[in-house]
Amino acid sequence: MPVYEFYCPTCAVKFEKLRPMSAADAPVSCAAGHAGARRLISVFAVGARPGEEAVMSPTGGGCCGGGACACGR
């Protein structure tokens, strides 16, 4: 089951919930019981080994159209 991030506008707190994908958009309450928390779009970090540079490439598809090849464009 994935972990989703939520934000409660009443208490201004971000929190996480472990939920099945089928319930990702179902209503959720914060720990204080406030209804109306909304799901956030989560970001994740990309790391590299020590001495290497982390390279972020755009996603997409096809050669030179979004990082699917190694041509460097």
Residue 73 lies in a domain: no
Burial (CB < 10 A; 0-12, 13-18, 19+), residue 37, is buried
Q: Report the DSSP beta bridge partners of residue 14.
A: 7
Residue 15 structural domain: 3-39
Backbone angles phi, psi at 14, to 5 degrees: -90, 140
Residue 48 lies in a domain: no
Question: What is the model's pTM?
Answer: 0.56
Q: How many domains does the structure of the chain reveal?
A: 1
Residue 29 lies in a domain: yes
DSSP 11-50: TTEEEEEE--GGGTTS----TT--S--EEPPP-------T
What's the pLDDT tens digit per position in 18-67? 999 999 889 999 999 999 999 998 776 666 677 776 665 555 555 555 55
